[in-house]
């Protein structure tokens, strides 16, 4: 990248800079005229100057006259246009109209220039950010060991931001303001050479002193930038390492560390301001110092008769125009230095010696030919940046389509070999060739499409499971999107900022690479691959627990309702009838809490959240209106009394308290006090807090679970009335806070599973949950809804870095992604560490079976760095690593004899 | 469904809990789950880890042992029986399979609750020891009978 900001700006925005300058120069005379006009209006028609106070006097409006030498015209003037003679009033109108017109024109010019400059700045900013991002994509792997993601983010986002504002002015300001200053200076010099020299002297003094004062300023602003960036880096670390902070009680250490950083930044900024304002003060002083000299030196000269008064006045008048351009220049210079430092500090971080050349990442639209031949390493050696030897003198030769097991202890060289093969690690000696071509010379389009790599700690992007699976099939846009996704303007702006023109909204998925003809076959293939890695069931479960928007997918919502009806049909007969009590608006649900029975819906948001329901105003109002508050208050007292009676005298850590769902052990004394306080009291006279506390108890009550015998048919009937009233009178502003259970309506706030069930699984029946789950599964299968549920599971968002999935699920997903692109060679590097040996072995066997060539489709070769050496027997060939080199190679069954290293490793595992 | 009081009555009829004051039994009942099993369902299977014992409130269960010749019925227990105590007392896997003969009602007593009661009520610990000693006595008798039978068969 260009080392100097100005070179960068000039190279990429020459034409724009010149055009801005031209427009500014064209606009200038109009600006001056707009300043002149008010004087003319006041002096002319208003004050009656220029002879306009005489009755019947007229003035020529729009008269254009130039002074010319007498040899051209005898009158000494050349009249371009004689003008329109107007009387005093008309002249006033005309001048005022002209003034208004000029104001508009000048305003429009200003608007145009500012927009233009702004756009140029934004374009350049976009170009700069894009090229910085591009550089991150081309950094060598080793670079990532020393950079912090949050520092990179703050550089690209914040540090380059002020450049945008500056770039538009980069050339216009110095040229234009410098020009004005020069004109003013020349004018002063023309009026009086001595005074001119005085003014020039002061300006030159400014030009010498100020840059000296600024040196410290530059240093400070560089330090400020580095400190702020380091702060951003630390904030990122704080977030990433939050677990360690908690488990080590390091939060106060972190606080102190942050405070010391903030303190450093504070003092840097404080000094910066002090110096900045001192320079400002000096500038202002020098600007005023010149007139002081004029008055003194000029005054003396006038008194002594060496200079006439008129010249002095003219010089002082001319000087008026000088400070403002000078100040503009100084300000410009200040921001120039600022952004130049920012620019160089940023691009320094984005320089690297071993940047991946752009041609390695060329977007290739054609099909990349498959890799064939042998994978052969010769004299391969890798030394890391600390000088430790990871791999030495490693030589082997295996067919790419073969199934190779790589066995070795941790850091025996097995992992490094697989990383070199995937070009994630560059060899220090020798190399690995595939089909006679060195891996390190292969482009990413070859490696990324023909090889698959699954590492020990795969990264998933914040997107759906489906998007993560298809990530390995999206290399270039293959088919045009439906309709126009970008306007011509968007495209041309992309071009102007040198951004890529590849369309993110186009169809990127490479069906051919996945061996399918289209979307439908791809879906089948996805299921197949997920079954291979044993993830299909998990995704189905995610789908069951997921929710859909019935408005955007009415068809599925309707099918779920069909499943609900089907399940209800089955619930009528044993054994299911016992296991589930469906939500029926006309019946009390005995296996739901009393509060749930009143609400009879899923709370959306916090308004009707169970924990705070007892203090919800509308809810209490309904209870009061139905008179239930008295009854429930008594019930609350009864529960509290029973609990206190049962649990009194037990220590707080007694295991029995774990079974107490109504209150915590430490709340018991409080409840005792409430009971004492509320004895014989009327509900209306009670303190709100006491009522809330007591109401909480019956709200959580479930008869079959708590078995206190508190529910009666009469109470149930009255609760049903309250339920009806609650939904009928629900105020409009609360309408979105709850989705009622309605047997014939899809409940958007609940999961698919709860929608199919729409009821409660009964308490106290052994195995009820799994039986109901099985029944739901059976209904979904019979109605052929499994695919739809699966689809909902595929749309599950994996969270930042895939953190909503378990680490095992992430690894499985990563393997599924690699399998989906059908690589010529699939490299697996110590994945599935969290699986036990037996499950690992099953996984290996399943994957090997799945990648075998079948029905005319080519399979994938394997290069699997095994976690569990005994799985090696599934493979055709084994490489046994020890001390950074291959210690044994051959067919696993032949190698696995007593005395061999492989046998020893299997023995020990 | 029957309430807490019925469960307390059942508990009192079990010799193990006979000496415990009613208030505590009510607490035990309150903190335990009432669980229904249908005919043929297993309460637990031989070899499983044990986390709870069961009081049979209603119905009957078969206690079975896996042998080389298949399952062998050891005994059928009725209402008021207490099963599954060995595994939670000795921290060993289930020593037998218990299966519901018909639809049964049980009270599931968690391991940690049961152990805590033993600590708090020495009478109960004594009772447990007595019951276990009785069982040992019976087992010893059975063993002796078996041995004799075996020696008869071999001798004859």
Cα separations (Å) of A874 from A403, A404, A891, A892? 9, 9, 10, 8
pLDDT of residue A365: 87
CB contact at 8 A, A745 and A543: no
- Of residues A823 and B80, the one with the higher pLDDT is A823
CB spacing of B26 vs A708 below 8 angstroms:
no
Closest residue to A704, CB basis, from B1, B110, B112: B1
CB contact at 8 A, A512 and A367: yes
The total of other beta-carbon atoms located within 10 Å of residue B10's CB is 21
- What mean pLDDT do residues A761-773 have? 86
pLDDT band at B155 (very low <50, low <70, confident <90, very high): low
Whether the pLDDT of residue A73 is over 80: the answer is no
B contact test, residue of A575, A703, A766 with most B CBs within 10 A: A766
Closest residue to B33, CB basis, from A578, A655, A764: A764
pLDDT band at A542 (very low <50, low <70, confident <90, very high): very high
Tell me how far apart the alpha carbons of residues A776 and A754 are, in angstroms, rounded to a whole number.
10
pLDDT of residue B1: 42
Taking alpha carbons only, the member of B128, B110, B97 closest to residue B52 is B110
What's chain B's Rg over C-alpha atoms?
A: 17
| Dihedral sign (CA A154, A157, A160, A161) | negative
DSSP-derived secondary structure for A549-618: -TTT-HHHHHHHHHHHHHHHHHHTSTTHHHHEEE--TTS--TTS-HHHHHH-EEE-SSTT-GGGGGG-HH
Q: In this predicted model, what pLDDT tens digit does every residue of B13-56 receive, in sequence order?
A: 887 787 777 888 888 888 888 898 988 889 998 888 888 999 89
What SS3 state is found at A400? coil
Whether the pLDDT of residue B156 is over 70: the answer is no
Q: Which residues contact A702 (CB under 8 A, 6 or more apart)?
A: A590, A591, A592, A593, A594, A763
pLDDT of residue A855: 65
User: Tokens in use for A575?
Assistant: 């054994």
pLDDT of residue A574: 62
Weakest-pLDDT range from A65-69, A100-104, A374-378 = A65-69
Q: In this predicted model, what pLDDT tens digit does every residue of A850-866 receive, in sequence order?
A: 888 876 667 889 999 99
The total of other beta-carbon atoms located within 10 Å of residue A890's CB is 14
Cα separations (Å) of A353 from A136, A142, A357, A428, A602? 13, 11, 11, 16, 59
CB contact at 8 A, A136 and A152: yes
Taking alpha carbons only, the member of A276, A278, A285, A283 closest to residue A338 is A276
Closest residue to B34, CB basis, from A659, A707, A709: A707
Residues of A in contact with B112 (CB under 8 A): 655
Mean pLDDT (chain A, rounded): 87
CB contact at 8 A, B8 and B26: yes
CB spacing of A655 vs B110 below 8 angstroms:
yes
Tell me how far apart the alpha carbons of residues A819 and A533 are, in angstroms, rounded to a whole number.
9
Closest residue to B4, CB basis, from A575, A650, A708: A708
Tell me the backbone φ, ψ of residue A866, rounded to 5 degrees.
-85, 145
Q: Which residues contact A200 (CB under 8 A, 6 or more apart)?
A: A185, A189
CB spacing of B113 vs A708 below 8 angstroms:
no
Cα A690 to the center of its chain, rounded Å: 46
Whether the pLDDT of residue A320 is over 80: the answer is no
Nearest-CA distance B4 → chain A (Å): 6
User: Tokens in use for A298?
Assistant: 């000029």
Residues of B in contact with A645 (CB under 8 A): 23
CATH number of the CATH domain containing B24: 2.60.120.10
What SS3 state is found at A380? strand
Compute the CA torsion angle A469, A473, A479, A481 (nearest 10 deg). Answer: 30
Locate tokens 């609990």: which residue? Answer: A643
Tell me how far apart the alpha carbons of residues A382 and A806 are, in angstroms, rounded to a whole number.
33
Tell me how far apart the alpha carbons of residues B42 and B28 are, in angstroms, rounded to a whole number.
23
User: Phi/psi class of residue A605: alpha, beta or left (left: φ > 0; alpha: ψ in -120 to 50)?
Assistant: left
What SS3 state is found at A504? coil
Tell me how far apart the alpha carbons of residues A543 and A174 are, in angstroms, rounded to a whole number.
63
Weakest-pLDDT range from A9-13, A765-769, B95-99 = A765-769
Residues of B in contact with A708 (CB under 8 A): 3-4
- What mean pLDDT do residues A77-85 have? 76
A contact test, residue of B9, B27, B114 with most A CBs within 10 A: B27
Q: In this predicted model, what pLDDT tens digit does every residue of A24-64 receive, in sequence order?
A: 888 878 877 777 787 778 877 787 776 777 777 777 777 77
pLDDT band at A257 (very low <50, low <70, confident <90, very high): very high
pLDDT of residue A527: 92
Q: What percent of chain A has a predicted confidence (pLDDT) above 90? A: 32
- What mean pLDDT do residues A638-653 have? 84
Residues of A in contact with B1 (CB under 8 A): 703-704, 707
> How many domains is chain B built from?
1
Nearest-CA distance A783 → chain B (Å): 29
Q: Which residue does chain B place closest to A575, by CA atoms?
A: B38
What SS3 state is found at A277? helix
pLDDT of residue B100: 92
CB spacing of A659 vs B37 below 8 angstroms:
no
Q: Which DSSP category does A875 fall into?
A: S
Cα separations (Å) of A40 from A43, A44, A59, A60, A90? 5, 6, 12, 13, 14
Crossing angle (nearest 10°) for helices A628-647 and A617-625: 110
- What mean pLDDT do residues A650-660 have? 79
Q: Which DSSP category does A748 fall into?
A: T
pLDDT band at A260 (very low <50, low <70, confident <90, very high): very high
Residues of A in contact with B41 (CB under 8 A): 766-767
User: Tokens in use for A730?
Assistant: 């629900």
3-state secondary structure A444-470: HHHHHHHEEEECCCCCCCCCEHHHHHH
Give chain B's contact residues with A (Cβ, < 8 Å).
1-4, 7, 23, 26-27, 29-38, 41, 43, 110, 112-113, 116
Closest residue to A766, CB basis, from B1, B23, B37: B37
Q: In this predicted model, what pLDDT tens digit does every residue of A779-822 receive, in sequence order?
A: 999 999 888 899 999 999 998 888 899 989 999 999 999 999 99
Give the domain range for residue B75: 4-155
CB contact at 8 A, B29 and B7: yes
Cβ burial of B67 (10 Å; 0-12, 13-18, 19+) is exposed
pLDDT of residue A256: 95
What SS3 state is found at A68? coil
ipTM score of complex: 0.81
Cα separations (Å) of A707 from A703, A781, B33? 5, 37, 10
Whether the pLDDT of residue A92 is over 90: the answer is no
B contact test, residue of A642, A712, A763, A764 with most B CBs within 10 A: A764
DSSP-derived secondary structure for chain B: ---HHHHHHHHHHSGGGTTS-HHHHHHHHHHSEEEEE-TT-EEE-TTSPP-EEEEEEES-EEEEEEETTEEEEEEEE-TT-EESHHHHHHT---SSEEEESS-EEEEEEEHHHHHHHHHH-HHHHHHHHHHHHHHHHHHHHHHHHHHHHHHHHHH-
CB spacing of B23 vs A646 below 8 angstroms:
yes
Tell me how far apart the alpha carbons of residues A175 and A329 are, in angstroms, rounded to a whole number.
9
- Of residues A265 and A316, the one with the higher pLDDT is A265
pLDDT of residue A210: 82
């Amino acid at each position: 990248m260009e080392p100097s900001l100005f070179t960068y700006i000039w190279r990429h925005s020459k034409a724009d800079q010149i055009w801005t300058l031209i427009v500014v120069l064209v606009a200038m005379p109009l600006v001056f005229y707009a300043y002149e006009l008010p004087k003319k209006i006041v002096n002319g028609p208003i004050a009656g100057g220029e002879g306009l106070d005489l009755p019947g006097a007229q003035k020529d409006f729009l008269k254009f006259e130039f002074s010319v030498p007498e040899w051209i015209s005898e009158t000494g003037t050349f009249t371009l246009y004689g003008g329109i003679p107007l009387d005093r009033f008309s002249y006033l109108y005309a001048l005022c109209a002209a003034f208004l017109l000029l104001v508009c024109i000048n305003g429009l010019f200003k608007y145009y220039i500012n927009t233009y400059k702004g756009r140029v700045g934004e374009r350049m900013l976009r170009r700069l950010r894009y090229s910085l991002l591009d550089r991150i994509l081309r950094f060598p792997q080793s670079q990532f060991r020393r950079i912090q993601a949050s520092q990179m983010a703050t550089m690209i986002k914040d540090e380059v931001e002020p450049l945008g504002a500056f770039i538009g002015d980069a050339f216009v300001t110095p040229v234009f303001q410098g020009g004005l200053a020069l004109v003013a200076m020349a004018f002063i010099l023309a009026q009086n050479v001595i005074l001119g020299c005085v003014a020039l002297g002061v300006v030159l003094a400014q030009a010498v002193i100020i840059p000296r004062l600024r040196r410290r300023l530059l240093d400070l602003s560089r330090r400020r930038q580095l400190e702020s960036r380091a702060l951003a880096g630390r904030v990122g670390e704080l977030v990433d390492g939050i677990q360690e902070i908690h488990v080590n009680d390091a939060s106060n250490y972190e606080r102190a560390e942050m405070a010391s950083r903030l303190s450093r930044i504070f003092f840097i900024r404080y000094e910066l301001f002090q110096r900045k304002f001192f320079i400002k003060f000096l500038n202002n002083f020098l600007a005023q110092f010149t007139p002081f000299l004029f008055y003194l030196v000029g005054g003396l000269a006038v008194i002594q008769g060496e200079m006439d008064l008129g010249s002095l006045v003219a010089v002082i008048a001319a000087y008026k125009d000088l400070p403002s351009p000078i100040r503009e220049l100084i300000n410009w210079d200040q921001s120039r230095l600022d952004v130049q430092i920012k620019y160089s500090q940023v691009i320094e971080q984005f320089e690297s010696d071993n940047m991946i050349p752009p041609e390695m990442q060329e977007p290739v639209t054609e099909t990349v030919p498959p890799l064939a031949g042998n994978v052969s390493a010769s004299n391969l050696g890798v030394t890391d940046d600390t000088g430790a030897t990871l791999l030495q003198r490693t030589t082997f030769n295996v067919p790419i389509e073969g199934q190779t097991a790589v066995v070795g202890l941790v850091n025996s060289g097995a992992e490094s070999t697989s990383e070199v093969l995937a070009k994630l690690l560059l060899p220090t000696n020798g190399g690995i060739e595939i089909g006679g071509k060195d891996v390190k010379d292969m482009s990413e389009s070859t490696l990324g499409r023909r090889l698959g790599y699954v590492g020990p700690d795969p990264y998933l992007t914040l997107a759906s499971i489906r998007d993560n699976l298809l990530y390995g099939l999206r290399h270039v846009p293959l088919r045009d999107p439906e309709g126009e996704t970008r306007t011509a303007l968007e495209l041309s702006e992309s071009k102007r900022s040198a951004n890529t023109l590849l369309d993110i909204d186009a169809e990127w998925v490479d069906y051919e690479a996945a061996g399918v003809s289209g979307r439908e076959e791809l879906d089948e293939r996805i299921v197949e691959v997920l079954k291979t890695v044993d993830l299909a069931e998990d995704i189905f479960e995610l789908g069951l627990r997921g929710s859909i928007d019935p408005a955007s997918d009415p068809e599925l919502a309707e099918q779920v309702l069909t499943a609900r009806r089907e399940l209800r049909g089955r619930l009528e007969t044993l054994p299911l009838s016992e296991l589930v009590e469906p939500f029926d608006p006309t019946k009390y649900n005995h296996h739901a809490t009393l509060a749930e029975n009143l609400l009879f819906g899923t709370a959306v948001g916090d308004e009707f959240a169970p924990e705070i329901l007892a203090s919800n105003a509308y809810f209490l109002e309904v209870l009061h209106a139905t008179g239930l508050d008295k009854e429930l208050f008594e019930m609350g007292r009864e529960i509290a009394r029973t609990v206190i009676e049962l649990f009194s005298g037990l220590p707080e850590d007694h295991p029995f308290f774990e079974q107490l769902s109504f209150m915590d052990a430490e709340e018991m004394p409080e409840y005792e006090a409430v009971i004492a306080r509320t004895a014989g009291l009327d509900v209306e006279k009670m303190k709100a807090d006491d009522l809330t506390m007591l109401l909480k108890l019956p709200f959580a009550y479930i008869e079959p679970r708590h078995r206190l015998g508190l529910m009666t048919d009469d109470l149930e009937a009255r609760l049903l009335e309250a339920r009806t009233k609650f939904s009928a009178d629900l105020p409009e502003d609360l309408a979105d806070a709850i989705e009622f259970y309605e047997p014939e309506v899809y409940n958007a706030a609940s999961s698919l599973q709860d929608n199919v069930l729409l009821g409660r699984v009964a308490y106290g029946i052994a195995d009820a949950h799994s039986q109901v789950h099985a029944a739901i599964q059976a209904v979904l299968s019979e109605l052929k809804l499994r695919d739809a549920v699966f689809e909902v599971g595929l749309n599950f968002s994996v969270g930042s870095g895939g953190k909503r999935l378990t680490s095992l699920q992430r690894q499985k997903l990563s393997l599924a992604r690699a399998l989906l692109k059908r690589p010529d060679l699939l490299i697996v590097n110590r994945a599935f560490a969290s699986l036990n040996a037996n499950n690992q072995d099953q996984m290996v066997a399943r994957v090997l079976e799945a990648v075998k060539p079948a029905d005319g489709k080519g399979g994938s070769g394997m290069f699997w760095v095994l976690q569990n050496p005994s799985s090696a027997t599934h493979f055709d060939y084994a490489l046994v690593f020890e001390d950074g080199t291959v210690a044994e190679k051959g067919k696993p069954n032949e190698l696995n004899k007593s005395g061999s290293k492989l046998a020893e490793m299997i023995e020990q595992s | 469904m029957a309430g807490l009081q019925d469960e307390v009555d059942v508990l009192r009829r079990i010799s193990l809990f006979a000496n415990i004051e009613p208030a505590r039994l009510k607490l035990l009942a309150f903190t335990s789950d009432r669980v229904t099993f249908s005919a043929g369902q297993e309460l637990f299977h031989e070899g499983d880890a044990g986390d709870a014992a069961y009081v049979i409130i209603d119905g009957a269960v078969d206690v079975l042992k896996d042998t080389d010749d298949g399952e062998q019925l050891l005994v059928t227990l009725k209402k008021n029986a207490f099963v599954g105590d060995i595994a939670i007392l000795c921290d060993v896997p289930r020593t037998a399979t218990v299966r519901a003969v018909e639809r049964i009602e049980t009270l599931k007593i968690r391991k940690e609750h049961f152990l805590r009661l033993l600590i708090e009520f020495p009478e109960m610990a004594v009772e447990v020891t007595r019951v276990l000693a009785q069982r040992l006595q019976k087992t010893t008798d059975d063993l002796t009978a078996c041995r004799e039978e075996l020696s008869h068969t071999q001798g004859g």
